[in-house]
Amino acid sequence: MNPYIGHNSQIEGVEEHRLVGGRGDGLKLLEIHTAAGLDLAVVPDRCCDISRLRFKGVNVSYMSPCGYVAPAYYDNRESGWLRSFTAGFLTTCGLNNVGSPNTDEGETLPLHGSIANTPAEHSWWTEGEDCFEIHGEMNDETIFDRKLRLSRCIRVSKTAPELEIEDTVANTGDRVEPVEILYHMNMGYPLLDEESVVTIPSERVTPRDGHAAEDMENWMRMEKPTPGYQERCYYHTFPDSRGLAAIWQPKLGIGLEIAFDAKKLDGFVEWKMMGVRDYVLGLECGNCTPDGRGAMRKSGRLKFLTPGETATYSVKIRMIEREDRK
């Protein structure tokens, strides 16, 4: 017991809130703050995704013009997903599709799937000696169709400015199911601006299309907000299982590092969007690229789970300060 404080929330803790007003009305938020300087908001009503991330009071994530949007407003037609794309620090894409709307084996698939707009059936949090844990279980299950379950645990360290997202996807049905997942992590101002230093130690960088190829030599350079900017995407391949991506803001003396298993999450995309108000850098690891499930099947890279089988994925996020930077 700390004799200097009356309640532990002076130092750290988890608080539960609900939003009032707008399209986010009623959304449940879990606000976590730690003595190590991390503040984040987890949204159980939206796949236990992370809407906001701050470090020592500095915002590092991007919030889209949509703001908070409840799942009731989700539009599963074509690119209707964008109308409820909060972005935040983390939006989970999948499980039935990641990327472009497409048709695969007769099934019409919307942009980025529906899991980001799926509320947790059950969510809870626990406190340990060294960390807070946020848990959620999301069911992507339909009669006569796929039956997948996503079990998520977000561990937030009490002693260091870092967190880990650990997901287990289970096939709870009786047929083999394709499974796609992408961790759509979004960097925003003031961590992100034209002076930000982006480091991705990949062995190969591939532009997604001709538009991205036109500016290939500048994939790592950020720009000022530019009217009419068209997004550019670059795919990164790592030489071994050590997947890593980082962004550093020299003016603030802080940065962020993402680490993951590049064998399990073998599709890393850098989403560079330097528009006005649409100003965001996506550093996104996944078990596929965002070209749609049909394209993944044709390339032979589509992943499957047999009945009763599970797959576990882990992503670690660490804040960096000047003295930590190598």
How confident is the prediction along the chain (326 residues), in pLDDT tens digits per residue? 789 999 999 999 999 999 999 999 999 999 999 999 999 999 999 999 999 999 999 999 999 999 999 999 999 999 999 999 999 999 999 999 999 999 999 999 999 999 999 999 999 999 999 999 999 999 999 999 999 999 999 999 999 999 999 999 999 999 999 999 999 999 999 999 999 999 999 999 999 999 999 999 999 999 999 999 999 999 999 999 999 999 999 999 999 999 999 999 999 999 999 999 999 999 999 999 999 999 999 999 999 999 999 999 999 999 999 767 65
Residue 138, token pair as written in the block:
């999301």
pLDDT at 158: 97
Query: What does the alpha-carbon distance between residue 194 and residue 208 come to, in Å, rounded to a whole number?
Result: 22
The predicted-structure confidence for 192-244, as pLDDT tens digits, reads as follows 999 999 999 999 999 999 999 999 999 999 999 999 999 999 999 999 999 99
pLDDT at 183: 98
pLDDT at 288: 97
Task: Say what the pTM is.
Answer: 0.97
Query: What does the alpha-carbon distance between residue 248 and residue 29 come to, in Å, rounded to a whole number?
Result: 28
- CA torsion angle 105 110 112 115 (round to 10): -90
- Sketch out the chain's domains with CATH numbers: 8-324 (2.70.98.10)
The predicted-structure confidence for 114-155, as pLDDT tens digits, reads as follows 999 999 999 999 999 999 999 999 999 999 999 999 999 999
Of 252, 241, 261, 247, the residue nearest 316 (C-alpha): 261
Query: What does the alpha-carbon distance between residue 210 and residue 313 come to, in Å, rounded to a whole number?
Result: 32
Strands (DSSP E) found in 172-288? 177-178, 180-187, 197-199, 204-207, 232-237, 242-249, 254-261, 267-274, 279-286
Are the CB atoms for 247 and 232 separated by under 8 Å? no
Q: Residue 42 phi/psi, 5° resolution? A: -105, 140
Helix (H, G, I), strand (E, B) or coil at 54: strand
Are the CB atoms for 174 and 144 separated by under 8 Å? no
Residue 244, token pair as written in the block:
């890593």
Q: Report angle CA 148, 152, 157 to the nearest 5 degrees.
A: 170
Q: How far are the Cα atoms of 86, 112, 241 from residue 211, in angstroms, in the given order?
A: 26, 21, 29
pLDDT at 1: 78
Omega within 30 of 0 (cis) for the link into 207: no
Query: What does the alpha-carbon distance between residue 220 and residue 295 come to, in Å, rounded to a whole number?
Result: 26
Query: What does the alpha-carbon distance between residue 208 and residue 203 come to, in Å, rounded to a whole number?
Result: 16
Residue 11 burial (CB count, 10 A): 13
